[in-house]
């Protein structure tokens, strides 16, 4: 039988009306049963984690990664930049220079498109990002965005299929998480990873997908949803608070109360809303015991995380990764959001205030994975609704499309800008579609995710389950990778090159 | 068959089968078969017979009354249930719709601020004033709670909250610490809840909190040489979120499709660019020039001022011989949504804004767009297209030729059969998941929370920390959840919406139950706050639930009655037998002591608390249907 069918059955049979009191005994029954059937995405034996950081609101990423060419060797990047960005432009001297650790060119272009410029810098406050780039552990994806199919220029912009609700927050945030821009009902990329690979983990009750930011589309799969936690990592914070210790029989009454709560959500409800609520409750309740036990073993870290929101969230992720063995996890996906990027106003101050938080938190997180000895097993990437208009609205920018994102980790061939950095101009540039400066992406989210998928252990056979539109951009062939930012040396990727079983939308 | 029909009015669940909705001009058939055009008459000449068969003659039973109150207010209590059963739903509604808005959040905020200043001046004599002594964002929460719990216009409070979830302004912004900014904006929603949509959209547009939130404060005409363009934020969001939405709609809320079956966008980037030009030239009510900063915290309470011309250079640098004077408002014709605002002399440019608001509010999408959202906030997540259509029709014309009459719309929503009739067990997707904040208010109202001296001082922190919801605290202009959100599971399979589920995850689910622990088990329902450091704490005045009047029902033999009582008030009777039995079995195992034939307070109190906790944790309560 196909693994997927097997998993479905196991999922249904398992949880029934398990109460907290008996969840542990059920666990033991599980360990024996799970695991060894014939599968297309082989059960991984090593540990890998993906960390998705959503910069919500639309990061102005052309002020994160900036061309610095000052008419040296024909590279006039900075002058183009300052001319079009006017009062949004960062002074050239303030930018932090980027360099490749092996002295290779920073940017090679992609898919027949060249990189418009040769030398680049980053926003003055992101020293951590600069360091990781120059050390070869962080890469940029440039002019990346949502696409249904490739679009080459303004003519095609009007004739080809475009993402729904282009320039709208709600739609674009969703599409970065689903990579299916023609639909509003698609599952999340992380969710689809979980549908394929969750059998790698020993405990059904603990979702492969863990969120620090509540409900999200990215981690929504067909059969599995995310488990949300707060960043206050403490075994005592897991599950429902007990009744006060001064109640007589408090221990027993707490158990009875919890059992009643469990029982109330275990009934069969005909009403779909009640049914949905109960399913969520049951899933959460089912996770408590294991999670609680695991959190008692969180290791201490030498790495110091900044105590910002993102710092606290990423620190929590490190701790959870630290107890991956206690959680029986071989594959995990984490999701965290940091908002406040919708800078229609006060953009320079806004970025000065907010980017340091991202840079410091990401750097600390990377360092913590080094400390855990698994830096090349954890890949972190940023996503955002869209980039912002190249032109200003008077100290701010408005919604646009293709922009720059980051991928970081020991397995990343860093120190490079992948994709195609666009020309800083609203005149005479094929990929620009308005007088404000909205760029058609040169690189699609599909290609980014496909490369991450192959690294993560999804077989080429299953690629188009994860990414239904992928066929518009890429066909798998051995040693032909979608973008090239992952170092695959040593990773087993199947030589089966017949993608099948695509979902269509 | 045609002549023999059986008229059944089922009272136990408040289920209505026969009615003739006078205000919506529609006939519905009853009984066996489905024959149209059946006229109902009473055998006697008395008008009461007809009225009994019609909506306005029917007196609801207690469960129906409680259910009605769960839609029309922040929650039922015994007194209000009694009122509705005696007066009837329509009279109650009419009375409520005619109650004036008497609570000003801004005034209350100022009174807290003043109290603080006065106290500090008394304790260490100084010359502190409202200007020199700071205020805090949480004054807004204290004011909000005070008003919602003491004001008589319960319906208005509920509707204003619903409006705050569509015309979103949030304290997660640069003015989050300014309680005047928050209170003044909320007052706009309160004042306009039973007014006209056109007035509402004008007041919202001209409110400084909205101008700052959606970044059009001091928005400027295009500076061509400088390649700087008008900010597009408000142009986009006023269309997407406050009026027409992304796609063309039929009057019943369903989306239109073109010849190839694709959805039809209502606007494109060109519309946005032109509408952005309209919202230029607006600045603070106390500004001297376009581009001026706000004067003080009360700048957030003054209607925006329009500057056709930008004379900032002349005013800021009066020594200049030839200061740069440019248009502040964008000159020229503006076209969007298929209409064109004509070019006019720049001094009359403010009329552009009125023209734009006319164009927006007259778009046929507005009726279904707003109607559906209001229905979702008050009654059900999945209104039928027919329901939306009936309400949208009233929005388009309230019966007296007026468009956008929110009073008529609210009344129609609540009196509609789809709201009043409880087809709970027939359609599997009726109802809505109660919003976490509304659940908190259900508890507060249902248990008649009181405060000594009538002052609550509730900062409402716990509910926000545990459930991530509180008035004017949305994470973005998209509210706490989207109207089109579909959670995983059975709702997704059925393609039905559940907006509130977007807030539901393992964390907030746990958080809610832990919050219940604090509100009930710890009897700490209010985040009681001092107004300034050093203020004398009077613990006796701290509001809490007084459950003594229920002690007599805590003995084993009367537990079912105890559960039923709260079942009626909180869940309008929807707890299933199984749920009741579950709850009862837990409570039976809790200690119970009698002294002199009366229940001892400690044990009795805990029994009541446990009943409340478990009811509030039941899906039968959580989903309001």
3-state SS track over A89-136: CCCHHHCEECCCCCCCCCECCECCECCCCCCEEECCCCHHHHHHHHCC
Contact A257 B610 (CB under 8 A): yes
> Shortest Cα distance from A263 to chain B (angstroms)?
8
Looking at the structure of chain A, the number of domains it has is 1
Contact A345 B507 (CB under 8 A): no
Instruction: Please tell me if residue B304 touches chain A, with a CB cutoff of 8 Å.
Output: no
What pairs with residue B623 in β-bridges? B433
Cα–Cα dist B154/B96, whole Å? 7
Structural domain of A465: 45-233+298-472
Looking at the structure, tell me whether residues B309 and B324 fall in a common domain: yes
> Shortest Cα distance from A54 to chain B (angstroms)?
14
SS3 A478: coil
**Interface-testing mutation among A82, A272, A338, with chain B (most B C-beta atoms within 10 A):** A272
Q: Do B501 and B492 touch, CB atoms closer than 8 A?
A: no
Q: Which residue of A has its CA nearest to B468?
A: A214
> Residues in chain B with pLDDT < 70?
1-58, 423-426
The single-letter DSSP state of residue B548 is G
Q: Which of A57, A274, A436 sits opposite B619 (nearest CB)?
A: A274
Q: Which positions in chain B touch A240 (Cβ < 8 Å)?
A: 510, 513-514, 517
User: Which residues 513-552 of chain B have a CB within 8 Å of chain A?
Assistant: 513-514, 517, 521-522
pLDDT of A198: 87
Nearest-CA neighbor of B336 among B353, B322, B313?
Answer: B353
**Interaxial angle between packed helices A347-371 and A127-134, expressed in degrees from 0 to 180 and rounded to the nearest 10:** 50
* Alpha-carbon distances, residue A300 vs A303, A318, A497, B520 (angstroms): 9, 10, 43, 37
Contacts of A204 (CB under 8 A, 6+ apart): A10, A11, A14, A30, A34
Q: Which of B231, B618, B619 sits opposite A345 (nearest CB)?
A: B231
> Shortest Cα distance from A311 to chain B (angstroms)?
19
Q: Which residue of B has its CA nearest to A219?
A: B488
Cα–Cα dist B553/B567, whole Å? 14
Contact A215 B586 (CB under 8 A): no
Beta strands in B281-411 (DSSP E): 282-283, 305-306, 309-310, 326-327, 334-336, 339-341
Q: Let me know if residue A410 belongs to a domain.
A: yes
Contact A240 B424 (CB under 8 A): no
Q: Which of A264, A394, A436 sits opposite B579 (nearest CB)?
A: A264
pLDDT of A40: 54
Could you tell me how many CB contacts below 8 A there are between chain A and chain B?
Answer: 204
Q: Let me know if residue B391 belongs to a domain.
A: no
Contact A276 B498 (CB under 8 A): yes
Q: Let me know if residue A210 belongs to a domain.
A: yes
Q: Let me know if residue B309 belongs to a domain.
A: yes
Q: Let me know if residue B306 belongs to a domain.
A: yes
Task: Say how many C-beta atoms besides its own lie within 10 A of residue A468's C-beta.
Answer: 22
Instruction: Please tell me if residue B268 touches chain A, with a CB cutoff of 8 Å.
Output: no
pLDDT (tens place) for every residue of chain A, 505 residues total: 333 322 222 221 222 222 332 222 222 222 222 222 223 566 778 999 999 999 999 999 999 999 999 988 889 999 999 999 999 999 999 999 999 999 999 999 998 999 999 999 999 999 999 999 999 999 999 999 999 999 999 999 999 999 999 999 999 999 999 999 999 889 999 999 999 898 889 888 889 999 999 999 999 998 778 999 999 999 988 999 999 999 989 999 999 999 999 999 999 999 999 999 999 999 899 889 899 999 999 999 999 999 999 999 999 999 999 999 999 999 999 999 999 999 999 999 999 999 999 999 999 999 999 999 999 999 999 999 999 999 999 999 999 999 999 999 999 999 999 999 999 999 989 999 999 999 999 999 999 999 999 999 998 888 888 999 999 999 888 788 999 999 998 665 655 545 455 666 6
Q: Output A148-155 pairs: Cβ under 8 A, ≥24 positions apart.
A: A148/A181, A148/A182, A148/A469, A148/A472, A149/A469, A149/A472, A149/A473, A150/A111, A150/A444, A150/A472, A150/A473, A151/A440, A152/A430, A152/A440, A153/A430, A153/A431, A153/A440, A154/A430, A154/A432, A154/A433
Q: Let me know if residue B497 belongs to a domain.
A: no
Q: Which positions in chain A touch B236 (Cβ < 8 Å)?
A: 167-168, 398-399
Cα–Cα dist A91/A85, whole Å? 11
pLDDT of A495: 53
Q: Which positions in chain A touch B478 (Cβ < 8 Å)?
A: 169-170
Instruction: Please tell me if residue B56 touches chain A, with a CB cutoff of 8 Å.
Output: no
Contact B429 A215 (CB under 8 A): no
Structural domain of B621: 547-625
Tally the residues of chain A. Answer: 505
Contact A272 B484 (CB under 8 A): no
What pairs with residue B26 in β-bridges? B21
Q: Kindly provide the b/e burial profile for residues B80-112, where b requires at least 16 CB atoms within 10 angstroms of the residue's own CB.
A: bbebbbebbbbebbeebbeeebebbbbebbbeb
Phi and psi based region of residue A113 (left: phi greater than 0; alpha: psi -120 to 50; beta: remaining): beta
Q: Which of B488, B498, B591 sits opposite A248 (nearest CB)?
A: B591
Q: Which positions in chain A touch B171 (Cβ < 8 Å)?
A: none
SS3 B152: coil
Instruction: Please tell me if residue B610 touches chain A, with a CB cutoff of 8 Å.
Output: yes
Q: Output B204-208 pairs: Cβ under 8 A, ≥24 positions apart.
A: B204/B167, B204/B242, B205/B234, B205/B238, B205/B279, B205/B353, B205/B357, B206/B282, B206/B303, B206/B304, B207/B169, B207/B303, B207/B304, B208/B181, B208/B284, B208/B285, B208/B294, B208/B299, B208/B300, B208/B301, B208/B302, B208/B303, B208/B304
* Alpha-carbon distances, residue A415 vs A98, A447, A449, A486 (angstroms): 8, 19, 19, 12
- Asked if the ipTM is above 0.85, the reply is yes
Q: Let me know if residue B167 belongs to a domain.
A: no
Query: What's the token pair of residue B610?
Result: 């446990």
Q: DSSP characters for A147-180?
A: -SS---SHHHHHHS---TTTT-HHHHHHHHHHS-
Instruction: Please tell me if residue B236 touches chain A, with a CB cutoff of 8 Å.
Output: yes
Phi and psi of B433, rounded to 5°? -75, 125
Q: Let me know if residue B467 belongs to a domain.
A: no
SS3 A198: helix
Q: Let me know if residue A254 belongs to a domain.
A: no
Q: Which residue of B has its CA nearest to A395?
A: B228
Phi and psi of B611, rounded to 5°? -60, -50
What is the radius of gyration, based on Cα positions, of chain B? 27
User: Which residues 555-584 of chain B have a CB within 8 Å of chain A?
Assistant: 576, 578-579, 582-583
Looking at the structure of chain B, the number of domains it has is 4
Return the CATH number at A173: 3.40.720
**Interface-testing mutation among B270, B506, B524, B567, with chain A (most A C-beta atoms within 10 A):** B506
Q: Which positions in chain A touch B433 (Cβ < 8 Å)?
A: 273, 277
Instruction: Please tell me if residue B274 touches chain A, with a CB cutoff of 8 Å.
Output: no
Q: Let me know if residue B282 belongs to a domain.
A: yes
pLDDT of A42: 64
Instruction: Please tell me if residue B241 touches chain A, with a CB cutoff of 8 Å.
Output: no
Query: What's the token pair of residue B432?
Result: 């809505």
Nearest-CA neighbor of B418 among B376, B372, B389, B383?
Answer: B383
Q: Do A454 and A460 touch, CB atoms closer than 8 A?
A: yes
Looking at the structure, tell me whether residues B44 and B66 fall in a common domain: no
Q: Which of A214, A253, A264 sits opposite B617 (nearest CB)?
A: A264
Cα–Cα dist B616/B442, whole Å? 10
Cα–Cα dist A266/B581, whole Å? 14
Dihedral, CA of residue A360, residue A365, residue A370 and residue A373, to nearest 10: 170
Domain C-terminal end among B43, B70, B98: B98
Q: Let me know if residue B303 belongs to a domain.
A: yes
Contacts of A104 (CB under 8 A, 6+ apart): A415, A416
SS3 B479: coil
Contact B586 A276 (CB under 8 A): no
Angle at B13 between CA B11 and CA B19, to 5 degrees: 60
> Shortest Cα distance from B224 to chain A (angstroms)?
11
> Shortest Cα distance from B212 to chain A (angstroms)?
9
pLDDT of B539: 78
Q: Let me know if residue A485 belongs to a domain.
A: no
Cα–Cα dist B436/B464, whole Å? 9
Domain C-terminal end among B344, B362, B380: B362
Contact B509 A281 (CB under 8 A): yes
């Amino acid at each position: 039988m196909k693994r997927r069918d097997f998993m479905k059955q196991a999922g249904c049979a398992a949880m029934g009306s398990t109460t907290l009191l008996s969840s542990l005994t059920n666990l033991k029954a599980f360990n024996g049963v799970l695991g060894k059937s014939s599968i297309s995405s082989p059960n991984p034996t090593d540990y890998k984690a993906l960390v998705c950081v959503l910069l919500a609101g639309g990061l102005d990423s052309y002020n994160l990664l900036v061309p610095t060419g000052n008419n040296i060797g024909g590279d006039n990047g900075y002058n183009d930049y300052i001319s079009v960005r006017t009062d949004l432009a960062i002074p050239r001297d303030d930018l932090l220079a980027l360099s490749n650790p092996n002295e290779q060119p920073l940017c090679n272009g992609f898919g027949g498109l060249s990189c418009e410029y040769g030398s680049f810098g980053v926003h003055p406050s992101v020293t951590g990002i600069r360091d990781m780039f120059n050390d070869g552990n962080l890469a940029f994806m440039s002019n990346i965005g949502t696409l249904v199919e490739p679009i080459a220029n303004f003519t095609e912009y009007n004739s080809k299929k475009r993402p729904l609700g282009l320039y709208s927050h709600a739609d674009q945030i969703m599409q970065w998480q689903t990579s299916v821009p023609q639909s509003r009902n698609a599952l999340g990329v992380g969710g689809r990873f979980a549908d394929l690979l969750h059998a790698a983990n020993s405990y059904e009750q603990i979702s492969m997908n863990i969120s620090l930011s509540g409900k999200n589309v990215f981690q929504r799969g067909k059969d599995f949803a995310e488990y949300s936690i707060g960043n206050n990592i403490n075994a005592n914070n897991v599950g429902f608070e007990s009744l006060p210790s001064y109640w007589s029989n408090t221990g027993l009454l707490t158990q009875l109360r919890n059992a009643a709560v469990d029982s109330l959500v275990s009934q069969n409800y005909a009403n779909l809303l009640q049914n949905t609520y109960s399913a969520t409750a049951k899933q959460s309740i089912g996770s408590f015991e294991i999670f609680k036990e695991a959190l008692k073993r969180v290791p201490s870290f030498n790495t110091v995380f900044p105590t910002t929101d993102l710092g606290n969230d990423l620190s929590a992720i490190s701790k959870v990764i630290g107890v991956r063995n206690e959680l029986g996890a071989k594959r995990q996906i984490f999701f965290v959001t940091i908002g406040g990027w919708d800078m229609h106003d006060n953009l320079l101050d806004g970025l000065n205030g907010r980017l340091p938080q991202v840079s410091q938190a990401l750097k600390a997180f990377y360092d913590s994975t080094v400390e855990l000895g698994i830096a090349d097993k954890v890949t972190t990437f940023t996503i955002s609704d869209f980039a912002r208009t190249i032109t200003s609205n008077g100290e701010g920018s408005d919604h646009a499309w293709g922009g720059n994102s980051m991928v970081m980790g020991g397995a990343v061939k860093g120190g490079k800008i992948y994709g195609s950095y666009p020309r800083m101009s609203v005149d005479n540039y094929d990929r620009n579609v308005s007088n404000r400066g909205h760029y058609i992406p040169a690189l699609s989210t599909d290609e980014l995710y496909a490369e991450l998928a192959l690294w993560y252990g999804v077989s080429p056979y299953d690629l188009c389950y994860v990414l239904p539109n992928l066929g518009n951009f890429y066909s798998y062939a051995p040693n032909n990778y979608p973008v090239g930012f992952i170092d695959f040396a040593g990773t087993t990727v199947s030589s089966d090159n017949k993608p099948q079983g695509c979902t269509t939308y | 068959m045609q002549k023999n029909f059986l008229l059944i009015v089922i009272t136990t669940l408040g289920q209505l089968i026969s009615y003739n909705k006078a205000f919506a001009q529609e006939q519905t058939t009853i009984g066996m078969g489905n024959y149209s055009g059946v006229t109902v008459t009473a055998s006697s000449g008395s008008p009461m017979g007809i009225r009994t068969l019609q909506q306005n003659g029917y007196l609801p039973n207690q469960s129906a009354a409680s259910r009605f109150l769960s839609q029309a207010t922040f929650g039922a209590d015994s007194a209000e249930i009694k009122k509705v059963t005696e007066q009837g739903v329509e009279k109650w509604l009419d009375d409520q719709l005619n109650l004036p808005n008497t609570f000003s959040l801004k005034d209350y905020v100022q009174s807290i601020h003043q109290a603080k200043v006065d106290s500090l001046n008394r304790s260490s004599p100084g010359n502190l004033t409202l200007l020199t002594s700071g205020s805090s964002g949480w004054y807004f929460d204290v004011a909000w709670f005070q008003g919602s719990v003491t004001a008589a216009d319960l319906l208005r409070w509920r509707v204003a909250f619903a409006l705050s979830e569509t015309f979103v302004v949030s304290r997660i912004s640069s003015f989050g610490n300014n309680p005047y900014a928050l209170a003044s904006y909320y007052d706009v929603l309160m004042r306009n809840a039973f007014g006209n949509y056109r007035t509402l959209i004008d007041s919202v547009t001209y409110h400084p909190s909205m101008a700052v939130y959606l970044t059009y404060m001091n928005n400027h005409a295009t500076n061509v040489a400088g390649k700087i363009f008008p900010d597009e934020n408000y142009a986009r969001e006023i269309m997407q979120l406050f009026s027409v939405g992304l796609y063309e709609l039929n009057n019943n809320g369903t989306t239109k499709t073109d010849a190839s079956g694709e959805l039809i966008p209502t606007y494109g980037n060109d519309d946005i660019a032109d509408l952005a030009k309209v919202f230029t030239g607006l600045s603070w009510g106390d500004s001297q020039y376009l581009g001026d900063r706000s004067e003080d915290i009360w700048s957030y309470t003054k209607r925006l001022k329009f500057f056709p011309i930008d004379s900032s250079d002349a005013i800021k640098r009066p020594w200049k011989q030839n200061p740069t004077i440019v248009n502040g408002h964008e000159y020229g014709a503006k076209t969007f949504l298929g209409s064109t605002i004509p070019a006019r002399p720049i001094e009359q440019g403010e009329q552009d804004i009125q023209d734009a608001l006319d164009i927006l509010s007259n778009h046929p999408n507005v009726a279904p767009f707003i109607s559906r959202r209001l229905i979702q906030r008050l009654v059900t997540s999945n209104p039928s297209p027919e329901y939306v259509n009936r309400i949208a029709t009233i929005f388009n014309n309230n019966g007296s030729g007026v468009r956008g009459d929110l009073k008529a719309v609210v009344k129609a929503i609540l009196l509609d059969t789809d709201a009043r009739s409880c087809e709970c067990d027939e359609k599997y997707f009726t109802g809505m998941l109660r919003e976490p904040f509304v659940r908190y208010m259900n508890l507060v109202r249902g248990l008649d929370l009181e405060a000594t001296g009538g002052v609550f001082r509730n900062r409402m922190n716990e509910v926000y920390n545990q459930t991530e919801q509180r008035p004017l605290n949305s994470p973005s202009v998209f509210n706490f959840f989207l109207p089109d959100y579909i959670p995983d599971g059975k709702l997704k399979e059925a393609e039905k919406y559940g907006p509130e589920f977007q807030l539901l995850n393992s964390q907030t689910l746990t958080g809610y139950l832990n919050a219940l622990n604090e509100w009930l088990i710890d009897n700490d329902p209010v985040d009681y706050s001092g107004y300034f450091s050093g203020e004398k704490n009077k613990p006796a005045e701290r509001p809490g639930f007084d459950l003594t009047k229920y002690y007599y029902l805590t003995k084993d033999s009367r537990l079912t009655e105890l559960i039923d009582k709260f079942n009626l008030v909180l869940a309008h009777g929807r707890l299933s037998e199984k749920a009741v039995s579950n709850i009862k079995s837990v409570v039976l195992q809790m200690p119970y002591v009698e002294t002199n034939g009366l229940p001892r307070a400690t044990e009795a109190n805990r029994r009541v608390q446990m009943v409340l906790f478990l009811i509030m944790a039941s899906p039968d309560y959580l989903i309001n249907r």
